[in-house]
Amino acid sequence: MDALSALFDALKKSGQSEGNFLGLLQALIGRKITRRSDGVLVSEGITWRELSVWLKKLRWDPEAVREIGVEPDTLPPRDRQRYWYSAITQAKVDSTAAKQAGDRFAQVLRDLGYDVA
């Protein structure tokens, strides 16, 4: 999980995930990610629940859900894990639009030194 933590740190520092939230969700849930420099496996795809824990832990900007058409006020305000899980369930990460967003976000990850399958 250290490699996944490093990926999230790189994304937060670079700001590359802003405007790409649907792609971020789709890539982390549905794709295998490895670090290009040494081939370390970062993720083989994580569950919605695990991703919601990460977003809570990292204190991801709750306003990011607006990018996927979700109004933050409609989500559970006090429990951030439920907040993120609810947002992910409404994101339609299995849709064609999400796949296209994931393809675009895969390029962002490649630019940061990760390979996405």
pLDDT by residue (tens digit) across 85-109? 999 999 999 999 999 999 999 999 9
pLDDT by residue (tens digit) across 69-85? 999 999 998 899 999 99
Mean pLDDT of 47-67: 94
* Helix 80-90 vs helix 48-57: crossing angle, to nearest 10: 130
pLDDT at 1 over 80: no
Residue-range domain boundaries for the chain: 2-116
pLDDT at 68 over 90: yes
E-strand spans in the chain? 33-35, 41-43, 114-116
Per the confidence metrics, is the pTM higher than 0.75?
yes
